[in-house]
Structure 1
Amino acid sequence: MHSLLKEIRHSPLLWMLVVVPVVIALEHIMPDAHTLLFVLAVIAIVPLASLLSHATEAVAEKTGDAVGGLLNATLGNLTELIIAVTALQAGQYMLVKASIAGAIVTNSLFMLGASLFLGGLRHRVQEYNRAGGRLHSALLLMATIALLSPSAVADLNFPGHEATVQRLSVALAVLLIAAYGLSLLFSLKTHKELFASSDHGESGGPALPVAVAVPTLGIVTVLVALVSEIFVESVQKAAETLGMTPAFVGFIVVALVGAAAEMAVAFSAARRNRLDMSVSIALGSASQIALFVAPVLVLLSYFVGPQPMDLQFWPGAVTMVMIAAVVTSFITNGGQSAWFVGALLLCIYTIFAMTLYMVPPGSHGPV
Structure 2
Amino acid sequence: MVNKVFFLAVLIGVPLSVIGSLMHWSPVLLFIIYCLTIIALASYMGRATESLAVVAGPQIGGLLNATFGNAVELIISIFALKEGLVEVVLASLTGSVLGNLLLVAGLSFFVGGLKYKRQAFNVYDARHNAGLLIFAVIVAFVIPEVFSIEMTEGETLTLSIGVSIILIALYLAALFFRLVTHRGVYVHKSDTAEEHEEAEWGKGKALIILGAATVAVAYVSENLVHTFEVVAERFGWSELFIGVIIVAIVGNAAEHASAIIMAYKNKMNVAVEIAVGSTLQIALFVAPVLVLVSLMFPTTMPLVFTLPELIAMIASVLLMIIISNDGDTNWFEGATLLAAYVIMGIGFYLL
How does the TM-score come out when normalised to structure 1?
0.91
Q: State how far apart, in whole Å, the 2-side matches of 1:9 and 1:270 are.
A: 17
Q: State how far apart, in whole Å, the 1-side matches of 2:272 and 2:208 are.
A: 28
Deviation at 1:236, TM superposition (A): 1.4
Give secondary structure in 1 for the equivalent of 2:305: coil
Structure 1: tracts of 5 or more residues without a match: 1-7, 360-367
Correspondence for 2:308: 316
1:121-160 deviations in Å (ceiling 9; x for gaps): 111111110222222222121112111112112222x6xx
Q: State how far apart, in whole Å, the 2-side matches of 1:19 and 1:195 are.
A: 43
Correspondence for 1:120: 113
Q: How does 1:222-261 map to 2 (within 5 A)?
A: 222-261=215-254
Indicate which of 272, 275, 290 corresponds to 2:268.
275
Q: Say if 2:49 is the partner of 1:40.
A: no
Deviation at 1:264, TM superposition (A): 1.5
Is the contact between residue 77 and residue 258 of structure 1 (CA under 8 Å) also seen in structure 2? Answer: yes
Q: State how far apart, in whole Å, the 1-side matches of 2:258 and 2:187 are.
A: 19
Give secondary structure in 2 for the equivalent of 1:207: coil
Give secondary structure in 1 for the equivalent of 2:191: coil
Correspondence for 2:332: 340
Q: State how far apart, in whole Å, the 2-side matches of 1:205 and 1:243 are.
A: 47
Is the contact between residue 132 and residue 195 of structure 1 (CA under 8 Å) also seen in structure 2? Answer: no
Correspondence for 1:24: 18
Is the contact between residue 69 and residue 255 of structure 2 (CA under 8 Å) also seen in structure 1? Answer: yes
Correspondence for 2:128: 135
1:37-64 deviations in Å (ceiling 9; x for gaps): 1111111111000011111111011111
Correspondence for 2:176: 185
Correspondence for 1:362: none
What letter corresponds to residue 169 of structure 2 in structure 1?
Answer: A
Q: State how far apart, in whole Å, the 2-side matches of 1:82 and 1:322 are.
A: 25
Note closer, same or farther for the CA distance 1:246–1:10 as it changes in structure 2 (3 Å cut): closer
Q: Say if 2:45 is the partner of 1:52.
A: yes
- Give the stretch that moved more between structures: 190-199 or 83-92: 190-199
Q: State how far apart, in whole Å, the 2-side matches of 1:87 and 1:138 are.
A: 31
Correspondence for 1:70: 63
How does the TM-score come out when normalised to structure 2?
0.95
Indicate which of 354, 359, 363 corresponds to 2:346.
354
Deviation at 1:10, TM superposition (A): 4.8
Is the contact between residue 199 and residue 274 of structure 1 (CA under 8 Å) also seen in structure 2? Answer: no
Q: Say if 2:159 is the partner of 1:165.
A: no
Q: State how far apart, in whole Å, the 1-side matches of 2:87 and 2:193 are.
A: 41
Is the contact between residue 202 and residue 273 of structure 1 (CA under 8 Å) also seen in structure 2? Answer: no
Is the contact between residue 72 and residue 262 of structure 1 (CA under 8 Å) also seen in structure 2? Answer: yes
Q: State how far apart, in whole Å, the 2-side matches of 1:200 and 1:11 are.
A: 31
Indicate which of 285, 288, 307 corresponds to 1:295.
288
Q: Say if 2:168 is the partner of 1:174.
A: no
Note closer, same or farther for the CA distance 1:195–1:22 as it changes in structure 2 (3 Å cut): farther
- Give the stretch that moved more between structures: 279-288 or 61-70: 61-70
Q: State how far apart, in whole Å, the 2-side matches of 1:14 and 1:278 are.
A: 24
Structure 2: tracts of 5 or more residues without a match: none
What letter corresponds to residue 316 of structure 1 in structure 2?
Answer: P
Deviation at 1:198, TM superposition (A): 2.3
Correspondence for 1:286: 279
* Percentage of matched positions with identical amino acids: 36
- Give the stretch that moved more between structures: 283-292 or 182-191: 182-191
Q: Say if 2:147 is the partner of 1:153.
A: yes
1:2-36 deviations in Å (ceiling 9; x for gaps): xxxxxx995323321111210221111125x1111
What letter corresponds to residue 42 of structure 2 in structure 1?
Answer: A
Q: State how far apart, in whole Å, the 1-side matches of 2:187 and 2:18 are.
A: 43
Aligned residues: 347
Q: State how far apart, in whole Å, the 2-side matches of 1:189 and 1:195 are.
A: 14
Q: How well do the aligned residues superpose, as a CA RMSD in angstroms?
A: 1.5
Q: State how far apart, in whole Å, the 2-side matches of 1:79 and 1:200 are.
A: 32
Deviation at 1:200, TM superposition (A): 4.6
